[in-house]
Every structure is written in structure tokens, then in C-alpha cells.
């Protein structure tokens, strides 16, 4: 566990996420108003696509598995490695895939190559994998070198391991090695076995009639305490903020994938009330859509001007329904060049991620309290908006994450960048 950031109290990991996010968001004067939330909730962009995108977390696995435990292990490994968002643009340039698609591809490659390479998804395989093998599995072995002039021989260029793609390879390798070492030391054959044990521990405290889901707190604490890559927390102006994005997403991915199976193959956590899985996409989108207002934020953080293109006209256009694409725009989609977003410090990034966690809590709270007259006044034609009162935090998270890829104009919106982190 980090020596800088104090751990949350045992049994209070989920409440620490919510409470620290609100405290940091209010202390840094990042504004979220009821009017901005309602404008978002009643927008054509949200109401016309929510039903379609509300479970689109991108964790579907188009593979066949010999057992549910094998599938659980692969799903948990994808969640473990679900980072590198700060390398979206260089990864697109190098492979044509973004961060998540690149991570999913490397995990699929690790699984498919098991018979040839040995089980790279085992604890031993993770512990011993080398950067060269990771680069090969990511199909970037020819992208991890950069040329520089030779120090003593004029006109001679020397290739060296360097650049953003090499940074991604190193990050993935380090997380795999570190996690594998923890698992080997603990006597677990793979990450799935460790998570399965945590699921069973959580099930022991399950209270089926409770408004609170205590099993998630037990599971989250177990994951975060044991695995360094799940210890997603930092200090913002001296205040701790706990995001735990990947550990929370691990639980929800398991619930989505195995929750509908009858009977359940193992204990399934109830995840409908979990905080959102805050990365760089969700806070950036909520700024562009006018929910998070950075103009009032403390000057010491330097956040007020990082997205200069955000203004009322742009917000209104983004909240409208997307018009059907023209034939010309369809043909040009593949040629679109993504723009690098503002590069932030750790403190800035965590302040924005905290704001997104709190914003989504406030969005759900506002939706729950919408009155019938307000719902009727904002309904389009005969379509009822009563469903807004039932939306959940994971569904809201999924919609924001998925719509960022779904709409062509949203794909062009800048997302903030934090490099060198294994957390998102």
C-alpha cells in the first residue's frame, strides 16, 4: 500500500470513495449544479441512447473457455490491465486501436498462446513474463525503438528502447510481474483463484434484505490491500482521494458476466450501488457536456482553462441528438486524426476523477427526486421519462464510457492525459 496515502478504515472502502470524492471536489471549488445535471438528464443525447448503451462496458469475451474459473481469470486479468488511457493517441497511431482495445487484445493473445508459450495467465506466467514478449503480444515489437544520433560517430543513428509505446509495454510488464509475485507468494495459481476467494469471503457477510451491500466492501478491501495495481489513490492538496476504478470494475464485470447464470457458478456481488469506475473518459466527457464546471475551481490546481473549447454553444450541440451521418462523413471516419488532450499532473487528474465520482452520485440523486410534472414537461411526445428515476450508477458509468465511442463528435473530444499510471 502507498506510504503517502493512508488506507481507508477496514469495512469502509466504498464509503471512502464517495466521501473523499465529495470532499476533494468541494474543497477544490469544482462546481456541479442541479440545473446542469437536469439539462444533461433531459437531453436528447442521453434519453435517446441510454437504453442501448447502459450496459456497454466492453467486457464481453468472444472466446470459448474450458471452465468458468478459466473465464473468471481472464476477465479479472483484463480488469487488472485496464489502464494506459494516457497513451490513447500513440496507441492508435501504432496499432489502430485505443488503450482498452489494445489491453484486451494482449490478454486474448496471452490466453490463445497458452499451449505454445505456457500459461501466461497463471501466477507463474505473469511473474516471469518479459517486456519483449509483452511487446510481441501487443504487436508493437517494431514500435518500441526510437532513433537518436550516435554520441561519437557523425551521421550514424542508434536505435534505443524509448517512446510512449515502450512506456506502455513497461507498465503492462511491471503490473503483470508484480501481481504474479503477489499471487505466487500467496499460493494462488492465478488471479481468478484469488478473486474467487475474495468473492467467497464477501458472501459470508451478505445481508439479502439490507439496503447496503456489505459483500462489495469486503471484496474491494481484499483486492486493494493485496494487489498494488488496484491501489488507486492519491493526495489532492493534502486530502486523500480513493478511486479504486479497476477493483470496482472487476466486481461489476463479474456480476454482469455471471450474474444471470442459473445457478450462479460462485457468489456474485450485488453491484448496482457501486460508485462509478472513474478514469479519464468520464470526467472529460462530463466537462464537455457541462455537468462539471471547472471555471470556478481553485487557481492553485490550474484546471480552469484545460478544456478551452467548452462553452454554452458547444455544450448545447453535444447534448442534442446526433444527426444521421452523411455518406461523405462515413467514408472519412477512418481518416479522422485524434487529438491529444491536456497532459495533467497526478493531483490534477485525481481531482477531476473525484469530481466525476461525485457528479455521478449527484446525477443519480437528482434523477431519483425528479417530480412527475417535471418528467412530463420534458418528455418528447408520448414517451415517458419515468425510467430516469431507476437508473443506476454502473449504468450511468457505462453510458458515458460507451457514448464517448458511439458518437463521432464525442470521439473527437479531448480527454485529459496522465501517463505513467497503472490505475486508469
Query: Rounded to whole angstroms, how far apart are CA atoms 166 and 146?
Result: 9
Evaluated on CA atoms 81, 83, 88, 94, the torsion sign reads negative
Q: What is the pLDDT of residue 2?
A: 44
For residue 25, the enclosing domain spans: 13-411
375: number of Cβ within 10 Å: 18
Grid cell of 359 as nine digits = 457528479
Residue pair 315/288 in contact (Cβ under 8 Å)? The answer is: yes
Residue pair 192/70 in contact (Cβ under 8 Å)? The answer is: yes
Q: Is the pLDDT of residue 116 over 70?
A: no
Residue 143: which pLDDT band, with cuts at 50, 70 and 90?
confident
In a domain, 3, yes or no: no
Largest Cα separation within the chain, whole Å, is 78
In a domain, 212, yes or no: yes
Beta-carbon contacts of 258 under 8 Å, excluding residues fewer than 6 positions away, are: 68, 72, 264, 265, 266, 268
The pTM is what?
A: 0.91
Q: Is the pLDDT of residue 114 over 90?
A: no
In a domain, 187, yes or no: yes
169: number of Cβ within 10 Å: 26
Q: What is the pLDDT of residue 283?
A: 98
Domains identified in the chain, total number = 1
In a domain, 1, yes or no: no
In a domain, 423, yes or no: no
In a domain, 418, yes or no: no
Q: Is the pLDDT of residue 331 over 60?
A: no
Q: What is the pLDDT of residue 62?
A: 78
Q: Is the pLDDT of residue 308 over 80?
A: yes
In a domain, 49, yes or no: yes
Q: What is the mean pLDDT of residues 44-49?
A: 95
In a domain, 6, yes or no: no
Can you list the alpha helix ranges (DSSP code H) found in 294-407? 312-319, 327-332, 346-368, 372-378, 393-406
Amino acid at each position: 500500500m502507498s506510504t503517502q496515502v493512508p488506507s481507508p478504515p477496514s469495512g469502509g472502502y466504498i464509503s471512502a470513495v464517495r466521501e473523499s470524492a465529495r470532499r476533494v471536489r468541494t474543497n477544490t471549488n469544482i462546481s456541479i449544479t442541479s440545473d446542469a445535471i437536469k439539462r444533461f438528464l433531459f437531453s436528447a443525447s442521453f434519453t435517446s441512447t441510454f437504453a442501448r448503451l447502459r450496459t456497454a462496458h466492453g467486457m464481453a469475451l468472444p472466446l470459448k473457455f474450458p471452465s468458468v474459473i478459466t473465464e473468471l481469470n481472464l476477465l479479472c486479468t483484463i480488469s487488472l490491465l485496464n489502464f494506459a488511457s494516457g497513451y490513447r493517441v500513440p496507441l492508435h497511431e501504432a496499432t489502430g486501436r485505443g488503450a482498452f482495445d489494445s489491453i484486451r487484445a494482449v490478454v486474448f493473445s496471452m490466453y490463445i498462446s497458452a499451449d505454445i508459450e505456457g500459461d501466461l495467465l497463471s501466477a507463474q506466467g505473469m511473474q516471469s513474463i518479459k517486456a519483449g514478449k509483452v511487446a510481441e503480444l501487443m504487436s508493437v515489437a517494431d514500435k518500441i525503438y526510437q532513433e537518436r544520433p550516435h554520441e561519437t560517430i557523425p551521421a550514424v543513428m542508434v536505435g534505443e528502447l524509448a517512446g510512449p509505446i515502450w512506456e506502455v509495454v513497461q507498465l503492462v510488464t511491471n503490473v503483470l510481474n508484480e501481481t504474479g509475485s503477489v499471487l505466487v507468494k500467496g499460493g494462488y495459481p492465478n488471479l481468478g483463484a484469488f478473486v474467487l476467494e475474495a468473492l467467497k469471503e464477501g458472501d459470508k457477510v451478505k445481508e439479502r434484505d439490507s439496503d447496503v451491500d456489505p459483500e462489495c466492501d469486503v471484496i474491494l478491501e481484499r483486492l486493494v490491500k493485496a494487489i498494488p495495481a488496484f491501489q488507486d489513490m492519491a493526495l489532492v492538496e493534502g486530502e486523500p482521494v480513493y478511486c479504486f476504478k479497476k477493483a470496482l470494475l472487476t466486481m461489476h464485470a463479474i456480476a454482469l458476466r455471471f450474474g444471470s447464470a442459473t445457478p450462479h457458478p460462485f457468489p456474485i456481488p450485488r453491484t448496482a450501488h457501486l460508485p462509478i469506475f472513474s478514469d479519464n473518459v468520464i470526467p472529460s466527457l462530463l466537462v464537455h457536456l457541462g455537468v462539471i464546471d471547472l471555471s470556478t475551481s481553485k487557481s492553485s490546481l490550474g484546471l480552469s482553462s484545460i478544456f478551452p473549447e467548452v462553452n454554452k454553444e458547444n455544450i448545447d450541440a453535444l447534448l442534442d441528438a446526433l444527426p444521421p451521418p452523411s455518406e461523405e462523413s462515413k467514408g472519412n471516419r477512418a481518416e479522422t486524426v485524434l487529438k491529444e488532450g491536456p497532459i495533467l499532473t497526478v493531483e490534477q487528474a485525481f481531482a477531476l476523477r473525484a469530481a466525476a465520482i461525485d457528479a455521478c452520485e449527484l446525477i443519480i440523486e437528482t434523477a431519483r427526486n425528479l417530480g412527475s410534472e417535471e418528467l412530463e414537461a420534458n418528455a418528447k411526445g408520448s414517451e415517458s421519462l419515468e425510467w430516469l428515476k431507476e437508473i443506476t450508477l454502473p449504468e450511468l458509468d457505462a453510458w458515458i464510457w460507451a457514448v464517448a465511442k458511439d458518437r463521432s463528435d464525442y470521439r473527437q473530444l479531448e480527454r485529459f492525459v496522465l501517463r505513467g499510471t497503472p490505475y486508469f
